[in-house]
Structure 1
Amino acid sequence: MVQATAVAPVPVSTEVYQDLQHFYARQMQSTDDLDVPAWAGSFTEDGVFATNAFPEPLTGRAAIAAHCERAFAAQAEAGIVRRHVMTMLAADHATGPDGDRVHTRSYVMVLETRRGEKPVIYCSTLCEDVLTRVDGDWRVVRRQVHRDDL
């Protein structure tokens, strides 16, 4: 019997890695700032946001934006501030039709602070993305978030 061999990941260049760090800093800050157009705009038009916290993935930038409108409004009304802290970013080349796709894997800790209270850990997650370049900027094609508590 022939056994399949795993293909070793091919890390992106240092330049691309730094570019991805900037992308994620802007993207995470846009969700913390409750900036729906910026956050939803960081996905491709047909992008997918999937998480074990939702029964079904959100498919398409419009669906992602609509969900964020509701979630961000509820968060603001409750007086909650969230901060997404991304660590341990790994970025490797991925196959794609244009050859310019990247697979990333990171840990994201979400801190939550309610008015007048101390910050608490809202959740700890594993975030796996497939990204591509669109007009020179990175966009998320697919995001899979695994909450550790679910």
Structure 2
Amino acid sequence: MTTVASRAELYAEVQQFYADQMQRLDNRDIPGYAQTFTEEAEFEHTPGRPPARTRAGIIADLVAFHKRFEADPMQRRHWFGMTDLRPQDDGSIIATSYCLVVKIRPGRAPEINPSCVVHDVLVRLDGALLTRSRRVSHD
């Protein structure tokens, strides 16, 4: 039986997981970010692009994605909120979050672009949360 306390603990655990995961991405620790996914994970993040599959595929995809910003001093900050968690009978967790990507450039006002909805399936392996699949829908 799910209790308020157990739901609160799960919510806090997922929020901490997302904080760690997004800070890795925002610091461009792409291999570290990929380690927060299962080995066979699927990651769809940009409209019109096919999903990346496997950790190695996620790394290759994100390295290629970030190359187009090499000359841009932009810093990105991914902000997850309004996270809805739906524990499943198989132990996985369906997590849906709103995500705002804040782009920051020296001397300019922060820009929010894009606004997204993140659809995740989280699983627990050896006691740790990992992302099995992520689909990002842009508003």
- TM surpasses 0.5: yes
Aligned to 2:78: 84
Work out which of the residue numbers 122, 128, 132 in structure 2 matches 1:131: 122
Distance 1:61 1:54 in 2: 20
Computing the radius of gyration from Cα coordinates, the structure with the larger value is: 1
Work out which of the residue numbers 10, 32, 39 in structure 2 matches 1:16: 10
Deviation at 1:20, TM superposition (A): 0.5
For normalisation by structure 2, the TM-score amounts to 0.89
Distance 1:33 1:76 in 2: 13
Distance 2:26 2:45 in 1: 18
Q: Which runs of 5+ in 1 are unaligned?
A: 1-10
Number of residue pairs matched by the alignment: 136
Work out which of the residue numbers 98, 107, 111 in structure 2 matches 1:116: 107
Aligned to 1:104: 95
Provide runs of 4+ in structure 1 moved above 4 Å.
none
Q: Are 2:20 and 1:26 equivalent residues in the alignment?
A: yes
Greater shift after overlay, 62-71 or 122-131? 62-71
Distance 2:23 2:86 in 1: 23
CA offsets 1:68-121 (integer angstroms, 9 cap, x no match): 2233344343111001111101111124xxx32100001000010123222111
Aligned to 2:88: 94
Q: Are 2:41 and 1:50 equivalent residues in the alignment?
A: no
Distance 2:68 2:40 in 1: 25
Q: Which runs of 5+ in 2 are unaligned?
A: none
Two-structure CA RMSD over aligned residues (Å): 1.9
Aligned to 1:142: 133
Matched letter for residue 136 of structure 2: V
Matched letter for residue 102 of structure 1: I
For normalisation by structure 1, the TM-score amounts to 0.83
